Amino acid sequence: MLSIASSELIQIFRNRLVLITSLIIPVVVSAFFVRQHETYAALGSLGYIAAIVLFTITAFGLYATAVTTLASRRQNLFLKRLRSTAASDTSILAGLLLPVVVLALIQVTVILTALAIVAGDPANIALLVVATIATLAMMIGLALATAGLTNSPEHAQVTTLPITLGVIAVSSWIGITGTADLTWLKRLLPGGAATELTMNAWNGGVAVTESLLLLAPTLAWVAIAVTLATRLFRWEPRR
């Protein structure tokens, strides 16, 4: 798994398009929100900024990059060749996805640390970590499911748009309007409960046990995505 991961990391840094999509764009957008934190906190809260940062990085840096990577490796038959080795299916996928997951986690940590420095520490760091891990898991699951519907790296630019833009839109909607109305609709949408959990972790004022209940919808999306991935994911191009 580690040998696959190290090889994949090298490929990421060699591919300028992937490098821009997975590293530069998410960081630049997130840095803008941090720099303008007073303006956007007035629209929602500091927790809203934290949630937008989290979903900007995981949508572009993790989800879209993972789908593109898997589609590319399938197209050039790399997945098929790996499957002929002693490596298990799980270790192959873990090796291919580990670099983008680690890069996304580093980006989230750095940007949220910068937000804490300029705007104040989150109310509950442990809860914020839980929210981050749950969001990463959800986006990885959705990436695996979407990769099953994606024929090529070029096709990934189309197939990733609904989820990429959708989770950011949901996060923004909830961050600005809250969940006082349409509560369950907002929580059940992809990213909705994770946004609220992130906001609670940063802003405080909500009991931890109540916040942890928000993990249920997010983990449900993980289960749905993994189920779809097992049905849709292909190891070689369609003939």
Q: What is the pLDDT of residue 172?
A: 92
- The span from the CA of 155 to the CA of 9, in Å, is 22
> Is 239 a domain residue?
no
Phi and psi at 234, nearest 5°, equal -120, 145
> Is 237 a domain residue?
no
Q: What is the pLDDT of residue 140?
A: 94
- The span from the CA of 235 to the CA of 134, in Å, is 26
CB 44 within 8 A of CB 176: yes
CB 13 within 8 A of CB 51: no
- The span from the CA of 16 to the CA of 131, in Å, is 31
> Is 29 a domain residue?
yes
Q: What is the pLDDT of residue 198?
A: 94
Show the low-confidence residues of the chain (pLDDT under 50): none
Domain extent for 135: 2-232
- The span from the CA of 231 to the CA of 239, in Å, is 18
What is the number of structural domains in the chain?
Answer: 1
Q: What confidence tens digit (pLDDT) does each residue in 152-195 have?
A: 888 888 999 999 999 999 999 999 998 888 889 999 999 999 99
Q: What is the pTM of this model?
A: 0.90
Residue whose entry in the numeric block shows the structure tokens 């923004």: 172
Interior/surface letters 33-47, b for 16+ CB within 10 angstroms, e for the rest: bbeebeebbeebbbb
- The span from the CA of 70 to the CA of 63, in Å, is 11
Q: What is the pLDDT of residue 238?
A: 66
CB 229 within 8 A of CB 146: no
Q: What is the pLDDT of residue 37?
A: 67
* 96 CB-near residues (< 8 Å, 6+ apart): 4, 5, 8, 69, 70, 73
**Residue at 80: amino acid letter:** K
> Is 18 a domain residue?
yes
- The span from the CA of 222 to the CA of 206, in Å, is 24
> Is 238 a domain residue?
no
- The span from the CA of 121 to the CA of 24, in Å, is 25
